[in-house]
A and B are shown apart, each in its own frame.
Chain A
Amino acid sequence: MTRRQLATYIFFGVVVILFAISVALKGFFVTFGAFLTLAIFSFLYDDNPYYKFAEHLFVGVSAAYWMCMGFWGTMVPNLFGRLYPPMVGPVIPALKDNPSDPFMLIPLILGIMLLMRLSSKAGWISRWALAFVVGTTAGLNLVRYLRSDFIQQISSTAMPLYVTNSAGFSLGETISNIVIFIGVMCGLIYFFFSKEHKGAFGAGARAGVIVLMITFGASFGYTVMARISLLVGRMQYLLDSWLGMIG
């Protein structure tokens, strides 16, 4: 055995002993959570089997969790519980006397059709149910996006460029409204490709690029803040819940 191998075995032996002590003092789940956190963090050094284990466990558990929540939270009370209430009586007694709703056969049939995808021969049947889902979602979203993200946003942008309030002229709000108005206009000019970006139009397009760059910068700054928050969250778990170092 080489000196390096010996050092590796000693290191892992110490880690195993520390985790065993942690299990005894803090319980299995807190220790396992700490182990998984450290396993994910280990990717910052290099790819390794611990990271792979934690990653695969996360994917598997997430899929199972969503499936169970969907089944027990929605399918049982909202589908089976309305189609034939006595069937869910043993699980949800509150629903057993509800009237039966035969219209629930439609989503049940559509659901079964979706599962046909698992069959190589009858897979085409799932397209009908999928078409229903796509069509319904597109129809719902089209109307709402048009109202909330198009018409309402245009209305919100059309603000007074000279703002007065009870105290008189408001310089701050006036500047804010002018910046929003110019920013939107220049951004729109930049994405207008039917006219060559020259002269005053070109200047507007260049201003649009600056506006876009500032927007991307703000988004990036916020993204950094979000990622650091997640890091702090995990560190709080390790230092407080696991090691008890935060008073």
Chain B
Amino acid sequence: MTNGAMKKQSLVERLQYIDRRIIFAFIAVAVIVPLLIGAQLKEKTTPIVQAMFDNVEGLPEGSRVLLSYDYGPTTAPEIQPMVDAMVRHCAERKCKMYMMAVWATGHNLTGETIEGVLRPDFPDLEYGVDFINLGYKAGNQGLIRLILVDFKTMYSTDANNIAIDDFPMMENITSLRNFDLIVSFGGGFPGIKEWIQFAGDPGNIPIGGGCTAVGAPNLYPYYPSQLVGLLGGAKGAAEYENALIIAYPKYEDYPMAGMSLMVSQTVAHIVIIFFIVFGNVLYFILRARGMTKEGLGGVR
């Protein structure tokens, strides 16, 4: 392009080649500023999340809930808030919580819940009586298939290598059929889908789930016949927290991770929508002038 041609470039033409790093900077500001302000955004609970909440709420005291940590640190920002809210809810309902992982990375995240939610907020709950950490076992869907018929073949000890029969809450647990509800938190493989296929459907056990936003569209078809409810991404977590606050007003002033996440999320979405609309407007202006650079792309 000659110097003369460059001088003739209008603002609209120059914006066609906007540097992608400028867009990254806008997204960074959109995420950081709401975090610094510390605002929380309440989400209206949708029926699919409310169904999950109602299912836990309807469990009688002492019900057995299996919580499977099928995720890792890479997706923890999305999933950990829903796990914390669910565990808090189960503790309020005085359910027995059995934590396990079919992902190796889920093993350490069970400790996050125990140390971050149960120990500080429910000090009366006792390990081995009210909740237990069964840890990680390899085997993917094969593991689920096996514990559907024989639980203690795979789980002879807890995560701390203590004999499983030493814990009162493990009495009468012989298979997955002994659980009143199984909730899988994940979105990848193995995850909610495998729990439905290898435990929920063959064992006629209620399955609930909390998954990453990426995985949610593939799991919605299982609701309501094969899933009792589903929490999709950060929004699902915020909706569950909202349902928890409505049912248990003492959490009104409690810092909720999912709700905090949704403020940055909303602002970032607005910025993205702005850039999509902006880019299209530029495209149509340039097309009207017959100046589009097909094939060169707008963003570098």
Contacts and interface: CB of A to CB of B under 8 A. Distances in A.
Interface in B101-144: 104-105, 107, 135-139, 141-142
A151 to B, nearest CB: 10
B137 A78 contact: yes
Given A73-B138, A140-B145, A245-B36, A145 B235 contact: no
Interface size bracket, B side:
35 or more
A247 B38 contact: yes
B180 to A, nearest CB: 21
Interface stretch (A13-21, A121-129, A201-209, A222-230): A222-230
A81 B225 contact: no
A87 to B, nearest CB: 14
B104 A70 contact: yes
A155 to B, nearest CB: 7
Interface size bracket, A side:
35 or more
Interface stretch (B69-77, B171-179, B277-285): B69-77
B232 to A, nearest CB: 7
B201 A148 contact: yes
Contacts of A3: none
Given A225-B235, A229-B261, A236 B35 contact: yes
A229 to B, nearest CB: 4
Given A144-B198, A232-B261, A222 B233 contact: yes
A219 B38 CA distance: 29
B135 A73 contact: yes
A182 B166 CA distance: 55
Given A95-B163, A228-B264, A233 B76 contact: yes
Given A74-B138, A147-B201, A232-B261, A95 B156 contact: yes
B161 A246 contact: no
Interface string A160-184: 0000000000000000000000000
A231 B24 CA distance: 11
A81 B104 CA distance: 20
A91 B28 CA distance: 48
B247 interface: no
B246 interface: no
Given A73-B104, A223-B213, 7 more contacts: A144-B202, A225-B234, A228-B31, A230-B77, A232-B234, A236-B77, A240-B35
11 contacts: A74-B138, A92-B161, A95-B163, A140-B145, A140-B198, A144-B141, A145-B197, A156-B225, A219-B214, A223-B214, A232-B268
